[in-house]
Amino acid sequence: MFWFHLIKTVGKMVVDKSLKLNYCNKVILAPMVRVGTLPTRLLALEMGADIVYSEELIDLKLVKCKRTINELLGTVDYIDPTDGTVAFRTCDLEKPFVVLQMGTSDASRALAVGQLVQDDISGLDINMGCPKEFSIKGGMGAALMAQPDKAVHILKTLVDNLKIPITCKIRILPNLQDTVELVKKLASTGIAAIAIHARTRDERPQHNPHPDFIREIVKQVNIPIIANGGSRDIQKYADILKFRADCNASSVMVARAAQLNVSIFRKEGLLPMDEVIFKYLKLSVDYDNPPHNTKYGIQSILRDLQMTPRGKKFLQCQTMQQMCEIWNLGDYCRNKELEIYRRGKLGRRKVTPNQVISSDLNDGETVTKKLKTEDKIEASAVEGIIEENISFLRCNYSSDVRLFPKSVLYTYANKHNKLCACYETEGQNKLFRSICKFDGKLYRSTFWQKNKRQAEQAAALVCLKHIGLVAEEELIKNGSILR
């Protein structure tokens, strides 16, 4: 991993595009849904992994994405223009080592995705082993193992038309000879390697893997075989090499053992859990990883410790700031978010229904389009309005509804013999914003919420701040105000 550390030192590297990813003698981070996002991949490389796979990304999602240069983060983002979500994020640090895994059932669609992403990755893998219902019903994953001609057509199309190495990942079939014949067919397409999970479609992690199948397959083909499925017995780096040796495979791929502690790739030994979480959180902040995805990653590391007092406190977190506070990264997260916000990133404080990504722009450009208003408030209703960018974060409140902003304002009105607040809400493109009318004044948050109830709570929170029932310092501390 000399090159990875060199890249981190100098911040950039000139990559020889004539060099293709080599799958021989490698230790690899396996594709894992919800786990294999950019922070995990970068941390795996730092820990010693040679190659990192993305989580499985579906062709139907990727094919409509807009490639966008994110100068603020130093990343390349593939953005779904229909909802603005980032389907795939990568960066120069991982480019020489990253393989995108795709779920597909159609050769032409797979090729369109490959042509879109090939300049930002070093390899493309087709998932032909996932046994989950979603994949099977869509003709993807393990369904392709039952249609070898279709699988061959997809791989051959990609090999013949893309400039990066193509691989696939499969499971073994119940019969050894059937598995050997399938692998031979797939290898005949010219793919660079095949990853094989040493269990059948119906077997799960509690079942023993079958390294004997992989040993026999290795004898029958002349491309690298990547062994997968040994995590149950992998407790340290040496166990990774032992599983590879048991399979007599060219390389080895690690999934669950890396999900539990990505420092499994360290030859020097595992790092303490809290150090791993700290590093993962910091990367998640640096690369603006979605809080829900970051939370899932940490839950995978904590496991049973989620039931400890600290673990239970963590489970209540919904924002990156709240998670970072637990691991002494609160100030770092706050300053980083503020830096990104000031530099103009379209983050959660700036999301509006009118901000969409146009499908016909050059890389890096964005445009605002007018979207349909579902429930528009009359313009006269907003004259003299008091606005603040205060968001309502459900995680800041207990299950006691009496402590919610609307309830606090209602109690205050009754106590002081004032008319109760009323609310008017506008909804656009599945986002909502409310006006709180109270004591002759109008209050509104400039932050658009995901539902009407939260929009009303946000408006009430603006009102509570202005009448002195909640302190600005408290709102800044709990993340409702970003300053």
Question: Residue 108 is encoded by which pair of tokens?
Answer: 């032409």
In whole angstroms, what is the distance from residue 341 CA to residue 335 CA? 10
In whole angstroms, what is the distance from residue 150 CA to residue 426 CA? 49
In whole angstroms, what is the distance from residue 74 CA to residue 91 CA? 7
Residues, the chain: 483
| Tokens 């390389």 belong to residue | 251
Q: Specify whether 317 is catalytic.
A: no
CA distances from 397 to 316, 317, 394, 401, 414 (A): 10, 11, 6, 8, 22
Q: How many CB atoms lie within 10 A of CB 446?
A: 15
Rounded (10°) CA dihedral 401, 406, 411, 417: -160
Q: What are phi and psi of 255, to 5 degrees?
A: -115, -85
CA distances from 104 to 64, 112, 131, 145, 316 (A): 14, 11, 14, 13, 36
Q: What are phi and psi of 350, to 5 degrees?
A: -120, 5
Question: Residue 465 is encoded by which pair of tokens?
Answer: 């701040």
CA distances from 430 to 90, 178, 351, 456 (A): 28, 50, 12, 15
Active-site position among 130, 168, 317, 324: 130
Give the contacts of 417 (CB within 8 A, at least 6 positions apart). none
Give the contacts of 119 (CB within 8 A, at least 6 positions apart). none
Catalytic residues, by residue number, are: 130
